[in-house]
Structure 1
Amino acid sequence: MSSLQPIQALNLDSVKQQAFIKYFNSLPEKPPTTVRIFDRNDYYSVHGMDATTAAREVFSSISNIKKMGIEPNKLDYLVLSKGNFEILIRKLLLVRRYRVEIYVCEGPKNNEWILKYKGSPGYLSQLEEILGEDLGTNNDNGPCLLAVNIKTDPVTKGRLLGVACVSANDYQLSVSEFTDDDLLTQLETIAVQMAPTECVVPQTENDDYKCLKKVMDRANITLTKLKRPDFSTEGLIQDLNRLLKFKDSQQHDANSFPETRLNTAMASLAAAIKYTSLLTENTNFGRFRISTIKAESYLHLDAAALSALNVLPELGDSSHSQYRSLYGLLDRCRTQHGKRLLAQWLRQPLRDINLINERLDVVEVLLNNSQLRLQLHEDHLRRIPDLQALARRLTRKKSSLQDCYKIYQAIQRLPSLLQCLGEANDATVHSSLAEPIAELNDDLDKFLQMIEATLDMDAVERGDFLVKPSFDEQLQQLHTELEKVQSQADKELKKAAKDLGLDARKNIKLENNPQNGFYFRVTLKEEQSLRGNKKYTIIDAVKGGVRFKTNNLDSITEDYVQTKTNYEKEQDKVVTEIVGIAAGYSECLFCLSHILSRLDVLVSFAMAASTAPSPYCRPVLTESLDTFLLKDVRHPCLEVQEGVSYIPNDVEFKRDSCIMHIVTGANMGGKSTWMRSCGIAVLLAHTGCFVPATYALLPRLRALCARVGANDREEKGQSTFMMEMIESATILRNATPDSLVLVDELGRGTSTYEGCGIAWAIAEKLATDSKCFCLFATHYHELTRLPAAHPLVIVNSHAEASVVDQQLLLLHKIKPGAATHSLGLHVAKLADLPDSIIQYAEAKQAELETNLFEIESSVKSQETAEGQNLIVDFLKKCQNLEKTITSDDEFITKINEMKKDLLSQNSRYIESLLTV
């Protein structure tokens, strides 16, 4: 961190300070999520509220903030070193997902600032050099921009959404056009699947865009508003003609792609292309592919489900702990592109059973062959660099010889990798992995030959990446001159050694560095031989010895530096030529990166399964929606924790007898864990991974919806109850017979009776209308009556617990039937609540407990039926009165008469109801 003192570092007198404050205050207004940084050559400064933001991000404290100017116009500021600046940029863009503006002073006056660089979560190209290897390694595919345009569908009069996605790292343009509901459910699905870092929308305040903002907030996507003209399609086809890659036989006209007929989506694509400045970089031309987003190809997941199941680590969490997220558990990947693909697969579980089984086939081969699995994991894959990033650098002509050498090393490994895969002797491994790699290996053979012909391998062993002198006539001539100068320096060494009576290269050595050029060095012990000798000029005396030189050595250094400068200039020309030729292989490298990342993820799946405390099983997926069965399913993240002896449970649904479990039981009894383990098993199965169970027979599902956990979103103005209602509304829109729905503790944050009523209504709707598979955990014991109202659809289950000697024993076993009673007070005792509070709570509970179910149970079933018939008869008479009597007074009189008649029946059931 910087040790610069801000006042000294800024070095501005009072006049210049006042002038800067005036300029700073004249800048346009901006949101707090945009941070302005001022480049002052040797350091950077941030001002006003941005100084507070930067101080907290870089120093975790605001103590470094100073003030400039005079009252009443003082301005906070913070000075950052280059290192601090780079830390701040990474945190703002990759973790906070803020926007950044960097101003540079380019005029003779101190306040002639211009906005030179801009960066946002979806547009990082101007700051790629600063972000370096962090770019695209934050559990996603790098910067990905979503653009959304909403119009009214001329046919249905509904919401017509045009969506475009730009992923610059893999040169992909994706579009989609669809009608959506008022909660924008389909848009949220696409946002989860594509994982954009930023979303751009037209500048408007209508209700649809307010709803869109809520969707992006839930998915943690930065929202940016653009001017409406940015969504104009004028000139878009010409732009696409420059950006898109056409096949050799294809007419170079973007109109030939069916996607261009989606007018609303094209408006979004136009805005995205403009925002990301794709046309300003000519290396983008002829590189991009355009495709349609096929959301229906993947299991529907929304942000709530991802969060409920802890699928991905939280933004900024670099620990990737296997206890905290499913990604952390499965991430045994050896390559950066493998890690990115793993995150993508978890967001995009497949729905095609054949594709799922293809992945499962490979994982099964790797699980059954430990030698093959370990060879791939421990030897081959860990030596593969980030080929996607290297290929992109090649495409942009920003590669170095070292980058080319890294690619060369990776290609060199392919034959031994192919030999290893061949030992699997499996048709799926051969067709999906080995064969494509072999074809690419053949295509890349000439790349190997080029690198071997141009790169000085002897220099590589010394850590230098140089072109072979023999490769270029001019280079060879300059190399000869360098050797001649080096020979002259060696002669000077021998001459000095003889003069001082020392052994050359033993007591006296010749060294060279950029600061001093050629110089001699002797140990401190030999320093006395130099004393009083005016032929030699001492540079310094340090622990490593005494460094000195002669006038002749200075002259030789000048010749050497000049010749080396000429050599490097000539080499740069050759390197540019080499990189230009190598760029032609970038397409092959992108393909190789994709296949190797696929192999990496499948090996990672096998490693996670093979190292689990208990065996994983291969799931069986079927087209039938009749049966859903998980035997001894476990939560994969919990079972790997130290000291945990996990108790597995079964999950079973049958279409003709049970599609919903009403789950009751004590807090901490295992209800939520059971539900999450079921959801995770479904997600893993559709991803193509083995699942933590002894047997899994699952239907091919369309959606996985979850309403689990209680989290306020105070920064968004949303309470726990509001979040529950939003997520519940989304579930009701999405749930179909081929969906799995997990609902945990619905109805908190409002009155008990309201909460119970809402939970009842939602559960009944899911069971009878949606007819989805559902685990519905609740503390409202009243809901355990639902199975009686809907037999063959809903059943009761409970987390088993016992009270032994006044002590609560949680068995973490899910059993049929409803929990017999609440154990909340026993849980309170476990939490060491004071005895006085427990005793008072018990007394208050006895006073307040008026459970309608218990009242009904205390009345004989015959009396209950008779009482209910009397009530139905009473309501029918009321309905008839409404049709025949128009006077309010007469209506009330008749009602009172009927009421007296009803009470005269002396029904115990009616009396019990009136006492509640």
Structure 2
Amino acid sequence: MTTSVKDRPDLTFDNQQGEQGFCAFIRGLPQKSNNTIRLFERSNGDYYSIHGDDALYVARDFYKTSSVIKYLGGDMNKGIPSCTLSRLACDTFLRDALLNKQMRIEIWVQGLKGQWKLVKNASPGNIQAFEDHLFSDVEISASPIVLSVKLGMQKEQKIVGVSFADTTIRELGVSEFIDNESFSNFESLLIQLGVKECVIPLDEKDYDLLKLRDIIERCDFTTKDIEQDLNRLLGDDISVVTLPEFEMKHAMASCASLIKYLSLMTDENNLGHYILRHHDLSQYMKLDTPALKALNLMPNTQEELRQSLVEILVEDTELRLSIREEHLKNVPDLHRLAKRFQKRIASLQDVIRVYQVVLKLPKLIEALELFDSMNDSNKELIDEIYNIKLKEHYGELEKYQEMVETTIDLEAADHHHFMIKADFNPELKGIQDKINKVKEEMDEEYEKARSFTNLSLLQDDWILILSDATCIRGKKQYLELATQRNGVFFTTTKLRQLSTSYFDSLDIYEKEQSLLVKEVIDIAASYCPTLETLNGLLAHLDVIVSFAHVSVHAPIPYVRPKMYNKGVGDVVLKNARHPCLEVQDDVSFIPNDVSLIRGQHEFLIITGPNMGGKSTYIRQIGVIALMAQVGCFVPCTEASLCIFDCVLARVGAGDSQLKGVSTFMAEMLETANILKTATPNSLIIIDELGRGTSTYDGFGLAWAISEYISTHIRCFCMFATHFHELTTLSEEVPYVCNLHVTAHIGSNSSGGRDITLLYKVNEGVCDESFGIHVAELANFPDTVVKLARRKEKQLEEVTKHEEKDDKEKFSKEVIEKGSTIIEEFFKEIANTPDIDFMDYKSILERISTVKNQYQEKIENNSWCQEVISRF
């Protein structure tokens, strides 16, 4: 970003001694984490100074230049690097640091005796102390959620108790559930809530958790005061011991930790205004992190009733456009405004913003009552979900509207001047009369200047502009102020005097009305519960309108899917498309059908060339399932789906060098999580499993995993692979079906073969691999291509020979028993407790231990020994 000189105020000290003393203070501050920035308030918040490595970071990341750096107490080698931020620039920096960069912030203020002290701190999940900085002129798109977690054991099962808070809407949530060794349910919860910060107990044996020491040391998990604290936060009319959530002991322990961490009890405005809700994981589709990345969508689970509402708005274009462009446009975040009222930091501008929303309600209600496609069932649905509630809210807010129209000067508000009506108070009336008189004189003076100079522009503060100032030079009554590219700014002696008098009178008016403004704010604060529920209702309508908008305006309009309950029904999609790819420029997307039928086609193996469309095909099915479940229409010409409890994915290939995890190990960890988490009601997407190790290892694992999913879990699964041998699984498991993406092979002028990818998915097995052909298209040297073909044939001959030898050497019974041993071996490794948190060396040690356990079985099976000897 670029900043002006005004964003870089100078940092000055009364004398050299003061500068040296401050440098000594900076050097003596306690050590902080690398992601913490310290700001020092100057001139009552007019600007802030930053020092040391923090200043270098701000210069590099925010200003994008080192020219803002100055050195206190010495030169570049001995001094402390420092820079400054104006209040406006500071707000911009804080928004990026807290909401995007996941950093922590400290604000230090100098007391009366010159001593500096820490007065504010914030983290990505705890921003309540900085809301005035962050949202003074912008709206927040997502609430920052902070979560606390406590683990326990019950009958040899892991119990996870969590509590989470959204301080922007004063909501506490609790949940308690059984989890597996991979904590996949906990991972899904983090994704569902969009958690920004997590507070967990410190485990001295876990190196990664030591990084959170600064947070944990300020938190504990005692439930000693939780009953009293929750009763005060929720209100006197609620006894928390009567709530079923109070029986969740681990969740209550987490809740106690969270209340302390967020210092909720220190703010009296919180008391009686929080609500408590139970987050039930069984009511939500679970998405693991790989699935979230693969589908390119954030989870958002709601009732399937949404699709009926979307259908109404899809069919009525006029209603959809009017709601989107007229009734919901520029509606502010009423939750945040309500919180400002409760804290008594709101302004008359905030009162007007709410008033403008209230004015829109009657027309919105009228639009929902009169739209063309209304039939009895649609009318009942719209009335039940929206109109009845909107009418109730408007009835409660009519007095608010009357209060605003009685007390606030709405005409002045149209010009961004927010004032109490002068007629409302005799003192105000006298000041207003003076303001009006001065303004009349200013207008007269302006007209005189305009007629003399033919000026072209009048500024808000009565500063004039001329493209050519020759006509006023030498005349004492005209005062030149500045010369800029678009002309010369000037004023007159009398106009300057009148302008000073005008703005002085406005200041007096502002001070005189302050008590009346406070009364108006107090009255507005009494409407906060209604504003918060209204906000939720309008947000719901906004989501439905957005779903309808994208459904209609897609390159090919979406259709409403037929939905089956969880555990019944199939997935049948006609002409399915990927919603992200089809909207790209210069893309003509080729649709494909999908058929996942219980008892027939539950497990799809997709083979074919690279870039042939395998990954797009399986991912678009996951995206469509998610879109249908959140209530949107889907990119198909016809669709029916069942409800999935989770979407699990193993896609892409990448290592994690910082954690010492290779590509292959990352694949195995993610796949192990899938095998532990999946149920018969899940959807599994696997793309190219086993590429990070040898061909034999990779194929063996791919086979074992595919067989386990198709025979033991029995959920819908798509498996894209280059292991063509895996397609023979369909001969052993009746629920496995083979598909392939097609490619046309033709001859070119040089006698070679051209490949044309058709991106069409058909039944059956791909009859050959296209890897070497792709290398030809990439202009590999002819010698490399010929060598590759020769080695390919040699490998095929060796493989066929080994398969023939196996059938001749070993009986079918020995081979089947050996396959079982290898499958059990891999299952034992996959079920290792806490494998997700083990380092690479520990996992290798675990594999060696399991190998020793199975050594005797392997030695007693000749086929196992033969297979291992080939590695």
Q: Distance in 2 between matches of 1:728 and 1:192?
A: 19
Match of 1:145 in 2: 146
Q: Tell me which amino acid in the other structure corresponds to 2:140.
A: T
Q: Distance in 2 between matches of 1:616 and 1:266?
A: 44
Offset, 1:855 = 4.2
- Is residue 2:392 matched to residue 1:439? yes
Offset, 1:772 = 0.9
Offset, 1:449 = 0.8
CA distance 1:46–1:479, shift in 2 (3 Å): closer
Q: Is the 8 A contact 1:659 1:794 kept in 2?
A: yes
**Equivalent pairs: percent with the same residue?**
35
- Is residue 2:739 matched to residue 1:735? no
Match of 1:686 in 2: 629
Q: Distance in 1 between matches of 2:189 and 2:312?
A: 33
Q: Tell me which amino acid in the other structure corresponds to 2:134.
A: L
SS at match of 2:639: strand
Match of 1:809 in 2: 756
Match of 1:548 in 2: 492
CA distance 1:777–1:872, shift in 2 (3 Å): closer
Match of 2:431 in 1: 478
Structure 2 residue corresponding to 1:707, chosen from 632, 650, 665: 650
Match of 2:740 in 1: 798
Q: Distance in 1 between matches of 2:816 and 2:195?
A: 60
Offset, 1:79 = 4.2
CA distance 1:541–1:85, shift in 2 (3 Å): closer
CA distance 1:63–1:793, shift in 2 (3 Å): farther
Q: Distance in 2 between matches of 1:411 and 1:789?
A: 66
Matches within 5 A, 1:300-319: 300-312=286-298
Q: Pick which of 741-750 and 616-625 moved more.
A: 616-625
Q: Is the 8 A contact 1:519 1:549 kept in 2?
A: no
- Per the normalisation by structure 1, the TM-score is 0.80
- Is residue 2:130 matched to residue 1:127? yes
SS at match of 2:176: strand
Matches within 5 A, 1:5-84: 9-11=10-12, 19-41=21-43, 43-60=47-64, 69=74, 75-84=80-89
RMSD of equivalent CA atoms:
4.0
Q: Pick which of 515-524 and 447-456 moved more.
A: 515-524
Q: Is the 8 A contact 2:204 2:210 kept in 1?
A: no
Q: Distance in 2 between matches of 1:281 and 1:521?
A: 54
Q: Distance in 1 between matches of 2:421 and 2:451?
A: 31
Q: Is the 8 A contact 1:198 1:223 kept in 2?
A: no
Offset, 1:296 = 0.9
Q: Tell me which amino acid in the other structure corresponds to 2:605.
A: I
Offset, 1:197 = 0.9
CA distance 1:756–1:64, shift in 2 (3 Å): farther
Match of 1:114 in 2: 117
- Is residue 2:110 matched to residue 1:105? yes
Structure 2 residue corresponding to 1:458, chosen from 411, 424, 430: 411
Matches within 5 A, 1:200-599: 200-206=199-205, 225-227=215-217, 230-245=220-235, 251-312=237-298, 347-350=299-302, 355-356=303-304, 358-424=305-371, 425=374, 426=378, 427-483=380-436, 506-507=451-452, 527=472, 530=475, 547-549=491-493, 563-599=505-541
Q: Tell me which amino acid in the other structure corresponds to 1:786.
A: L
CA distance 1:211–1:158, shift in 2 (3 Å): farther
Offset, 1:558 = 7.8
Offset, 1:299 = 0.8
Q: Distance in 2 between matches of 1:834 and 1:63?
A: 51
Q: Is the 8 A contact 2:481 2:488 kept in 1?
A: no
Q: Distance in 1 between matches of 2:508 and 2:12?
A: 39
SS at match of 2:229: helix
Match of 2:840 in 1: none
Deviations 1:361-407 (A, max 9, x none): 11111111222222222222224333333233223222222222222
Q: Tell me which amino acid in the other structure corresponds to 1:307.
A: K
CA distance 1:690–1:185, shift in 2 (3 Å): same
Q: Pick which of 223-232 and 48-57 moved more.
A: 223-232
Structure with bigger gyration radius = 1
Match of 1:337 in 2: none
Q: Is the 8 A contact 1:628 1:698 kept in 2?
A: yes
Deviations 1:249-296 (A, max 9, x none): xx4433232222322212211221222222333222211110111111
Q: Tell me which amino acid in the other structure corresponds to 1:102.
A: I
Deviations 1:86-105 (A, max 9, x none): 33322211111111112233
Q: Tell me which amino acid in the other structure corresponds to 2:250.
A: T
Offset, 1:693 = 1.0
Matches within 5 A, 1:824-843: 824-843=771-790
Q: Tell me which amino acid in the other structure corresponds to 1:458.
A: E
Q: Distance in 1 between matches of 2:80 and 2:663?
A: 39
Q: Is the 8 A contact 2:124 2:144 kept in 1?
A: yes
Offset, 1:589 = 1.4
Q: Is the 8 A contact 1:829 1:838 kept in 2?
A: yes
Q: Distance in 1 between matches of 2:508 and 2:202?
A: 55
Match of 1:644 in 2: 587
Deviations 1:736-780 (A, max 9, x none): 111110011112322332222222222111111111100011112
Q: Tell me which amino acid in the other structure corresponds to 1:53.
A: Y
Match of 2:547 in 1: 605
SS at match of 1:202: coil
CA distance 1:740–1:481, shift in 2 (3 Å): same
Offset, 1:657 = 1.8
CA distance 1:18–1:802, shift in 2 (3 Å): farther
Q: Is the 8 A contact 1:145 1:199 kept in 2?
A: yes
Offset, 1:732 = 0.9
- Per the normalisation by structure 2, the TM-score is 0.84
Offset, 1:619 = 1.0
- Is residue 2:732 matched to residue 1:789? yes
SS at match of 2:585: coil
Deviations 1:451-479 (A, max 9, x none): 11111122223332211111223323433
SS at match of 1:804: strand
SS at match of 2:285: coil
Q: Distance in 1 between matches of 2:419 and 2:817?
A: 98
Match of 2:850 in 1: none
Q: Distance in 2 between matches of 1:541 and 1:35?
A: 39
Deviations 1:56-85 (A, max 9, x none): 421446676565546975544444444543
Q: Is the 8 A contact 2:291 2:650 kept in 1?
A: yes
SS at match of 1:796: strand
Q: Distance in 1 between matches of 2:638 and 2:228?
A: 55
Q: Is the 8 A contact 1:518 1:557 kept in 2?
A: no
CA distance 1:842–1:453, shift in 2 (3 Å): same
Match of 1:90 in 2: 95
SS at match of 1:230: coil
Offset, 1:486 = 5.9
Offset, 1:669 = 0.6
Deviations 1:486-541 (A, max 9, x none): 67x57xx98x99xxxx959854999xx9999999999957748955xxxx695758
Deviations 1:117-164 (A, max 9, x none): 2111011122112212687634x2x2211111223x2x4143332200
Q: Distance in 1 between matches of 2:52 and 2:816?
A: 74
Q: Is the 8 A contact 1:629 1:651 kept in 2?
A: yes
Q: Is the 8 A contact 1:475 1:567 kept in 2?
A: yes
CA distance 1:855–1:294, shift in 2 (3 Å): same
Q: Distance in 1 between matches of 2:132 and 2:643?
A: 44
Q: Is the 8 A contact 1:6 1:78 kept in 2?
A: no
For structure 2, the 5+ residue unaligned runs are 748-752, 820-857
